[in-house]
Amino acid sequence: MVPDFLSPLMCEEIVDELGFESPDTDVDGNAVKSMKHNEQFEDMIFQRLEQIIPALEQHYGFEYKGTEQMEFEWIPQGASIDPHCESAEYLNNNWVKTRYRDFTCVIFMTDYNDNPPFDDDFEVFGGKLEFPSHQFGFNPQRGTMIVYPSDPRFANATATAVVGDLHQVRIHIAAKTPYAYDPKAFPGNFTVWFNDL
């Protein structure tokens, strides 16, 4: 976890500038996740990401190769993201690697709030980033970045945005040598895993 990776003001500026208006819908007309790309904000975020890559390399024991185009996501009220793995598909009861991704970063652009009053410009009730295999998750906190291996052990979902909209950025990182997550190298649980960066 990297608190204050972006300032609240930067988050607001990005969300305003992206200007999501009409959500994408599924075949039944239900709102689903929408996504955009933005070169200007991607460059700005990448400059900040470069500063912490050495710490990520040291923490996870890998050598950085590159970053995919960033995904600026809008999860509108009533929408969620089903469980998935960023590097693999679940086929015939097995995870099959289908994409060259080693680490994923999610930057929250919205704050979680479950107590009125509620500001729907930058707050959401719901939208928790969940890791079902480990029985934990993160409520959105504007500007905070969560970094995790793009590995089936960290298959994740985003809970329904019950009230308000969730905005976040998803970043996929590749290592020079494919990263093999070793649970023995990271003893304990989420209470210690995400506090070393």
In a domain, 25, yes or no: no
Looking at residue 15, its pLDDT comes to 95
Confidence of residue 196 (pLDDT cuts 50, 70, 90): low
Across 42-75, b (16+ Cβ under 10 Å) vs e yields: beebeeebeebeeebeeebebebeebeebbbbbb
Residue 2 inside a domain? The answer is no
pLDDT at 178: 94
Q: Tell me, what's the pLDDT at 143?
A: 97
The widest CA-to-CA distance across the chain, in whole angstroms, is 49
Q: Whole-angstrom Cα distance, residue 142 to residue 140?
A: 6
CATH code for the domain of 163: 2.60.120.620
pTM: 0.93
**DSSP 8-class letter at 69:** P
103, 64 in Cβ contact below 8 A? Answer: no
Question: Is 77 within the bounds of a domain?
Answer: yes
User: Which of 114, 95, 105 has its CA nearest to residue 159?
Assistant: 114
Q: How many domains does the chain have?
A: 1
Per-residue pLDDT tens for 59-110? 999 999 999 999 999 999 999 999 999 999 999 889 999 999 999 999 999 9
| pLDDT, tens only, 105-122 | 999 999 999 987 888 789
Position 195 pLDDT exceeds 70: no
Task: Fill in the DSSP letter of residue 121.
Answer: T
| pLDDT for the residue 192 | 74
